[in-house]
Chain A
Amino acid sequence: MISDLTQRIFHLKYLKFYLISTLFGLLALLPLLIRGPFYSHILIMIFLHAAAAASWNLIGGYAGQLSLGHAAFYGIGAYTSTLLFVQWGISPWLGMLVGGGVAAVVAGLFSFPCFKLRGPFFTLATIAFGEVVRILAIYFRGLTRGAIGITIPFRPGIENLMFHGKMAYCYFALVTMMTVFFVSFLIERSRFGYYLVALRGDEDAAQALGVNTTMCKLMAMMLSAFFTAICGTFAAQYVLFIEPISEFSIDRSILFALISIIGGIGTAAGPIIGSFILTPLQEFLRAWLGGQYQGLHIFIYGCILIAVVMLLPEGVIVWVRTFVKRITYYVNIS
């Protein structure tokens, strides 16, 4: 009787669900356990980068359209909510959604003609797009205040999405990350998700099976831009200062892609795993070595990236999967 019940509870089908809920439970406790603003900051950046990378993963991972222009959407999110707040006092909560909408529309307009380009040519177009948006943001000084940037006045309160201390930011970033994770998780199991993975494999073959590949890519791109912009708004509310060169920098686009690739491209958990590796690595290396030897932290960071890509070309998630398989194996024999 009892063994029958345990067998049913520990059924393979649910095990993944249990693991994921336990992990998220532990993640929710993490902000309470961590002491000191430096570590809290790292945790916020981990969650934020994971959310942005997971958004990138919708188009770059599942659909295989390698975009290196996502900083544009991030910047659009940051600028839209900030300008609405600074100029008209509109709450960043609303600004966040408006920013997401603007980013999605821009993404649609830009990518619709560009989806005719395949492989590296699409990537080149996204790089150009990101650069153009950055230059426009510097150029239109009347709207964006150009390279000087905008300082967001600190008026703490839930309605302004600004808080004293880092705890609230931590949880907000965690919720954003979990939202994008669950959206990816649901897409992965839906018709839309199957279509995206199929068109990544072979666009002609997908079309022959009734997949409107352009429409699927467009939807994935717009969804991806929407969530990336939300991450941008959050970052602006956290740092309280935005300026075009860092908001729209290609380094940021590369970081989002890199986190997904290191973690496991085209998987829901990959970007989260990737962010837990890369973000702390970057921050710690910078903190330890940045002051003493100029550029050494970037050198070591690069070496570690090369090593990971060579050893685990399909991402760290491969390790995690074998680990989970081993657990299910032991659960089954016991």
Chain B
Amino acid sequence: MMLLQAQKITKRFGGLMALKEVDLQIERGEIIGLIGPNGAGKTTLFNVISGFYFPSSGNILFEGRDITSLRAYQTCRLGIARTFQIVKPFGNMTVLQNVMVGNFCRMRSTREVKKEAFEILDLAGLSGKENELAKSLTLPDRKRLELAKALATKPKFLLLDEVNAGLNPTEISQVLNILRKVRDEWGVTLLVIEHLMTVIMNLSERIVVLSYGEKIAEGTPEEVSTNQKVIEAYLGEEDEE
């Protein structure tokens, strides 16, 4: 059974078609890249899958179950976690408390949650900063915290919206190591939005390309990078003379 099946997802905002009949099929344990020019509908697709928006038409199955009309907190409890492109830390909480909010998704006891949260912080490379207020963190640490919070909910399926934006090459490779580790050890399936082509080509096993709300290509990194439509979408059409 497919982990996630999105069938003919359409999302309209008034007269604007943000997504046009997008189909998406994701197997358990895959790492999939989602790319496309600005405004292609990548984040909208995330919002629809994670339950922040309802699609105008089409439906979404997660582990065979229809989740089209579920809200964000419900999809999270089923095992879909997401990060936000513009990170959203809980500013007045400490780093540890931020992560604990995610851990509470799976358990109730404050003591156990605290213990697990420390493990997540260790994994995300935030050890030693647990008592800092989230609003006082630097950008790379905020990105790490955003990832840690999502991981704390113990997801089966993780949607990552540009977790590498604004990081330097060393920091990026740290994040990629975490992502591979999460996939290999926890069996988490990843759907990754990324603008850095080297990262996405390196990380993903399959790439889906969106342009103006439509899926224009899908395949391995090599296939996609030589696809004529993709090149046109990014560089514009060649002039016919």
> CB within 8 Å of B: which residues of A?
189-191, 194-195, 197-198, 200-202, 204-213, 266
Contacts and interface: CB of A to CB of B under 8 A. Distances in A.
A208 B72 contact: yes
A205 B113 CA distance: 19
A206 B50 CA distance: 13
Contacts of A208: 50, 52, 72, 76, 81-82, 84, 88, 150
A95 to B, nearest CB: 35
Interface residues on chain B, size class = 20 to 34
A26 to B, nearest CB: 29
Interface stretch (B11-19, B96-104, B121-129, B193-201): B96-104
B90 A201 contact: yes
Interface in B61-97: 71-73, 76-77, 81-82, 84, 88-93, 97
What 4 A-B pairs are tightest by C-beta distance, nearest first? A201-B90, A205-B88, A210-B105, A210-B76
Nearest to A64: B92
Contacts of A206: 90, 101
A209 B52 contact: no
A207 B52 contact: yes
B81 to A, nearest CB: 7
17 contacts: A191-B104, A191-B108, A191-B113, A194-B97, A194-B100, A194-B101, A195-B104, A201-B91, A201-B93, A202-B90, A205-B84, A205-B149, A208-B50, A208-B81, A209-B102, A209-B105, A213-B73
Nearest to A211: B73
Contact of A191 (B50, B110, B153): B110
Contact of A204 (B88, B97, B104): B88
Label chain A's interface by main secondary structure.
helix
Given A189-B110, A209-B102, A201 B92 contact: yes
Contacts of A200: 90, 92
Contacts of A212: 73
Nearest to A206: B101
A308 to B, nearest CB: 20
A211 B84 contact: no
Interface of B: 50, 52, 71-73, 76-77, 81-82, 84, 88-93, 97-98, 100-102, 104-105, 108, 110, 113, 149-150, 152-153
Nearest to B159: A208
Nearest to B72: A207
Contacts of B108: 191
Nearest to A213: B73
A213 B71 CA distance: 11
B101 A211 contact: yes
B150 to A, nearest CB: 8
Given A195-B101, A201-B90, A210 B110 contact: no
Contacts of B100: 194
A266 B91 CA distance: 14
A209 B149 CA distance: 7
Contacts of A195: 101, 104
Contacts of A204: 52, 72, 84, 88
A209 B88 CA distance: 11
Contacts of B105: 209-210
A213 B73 CA distance: 8
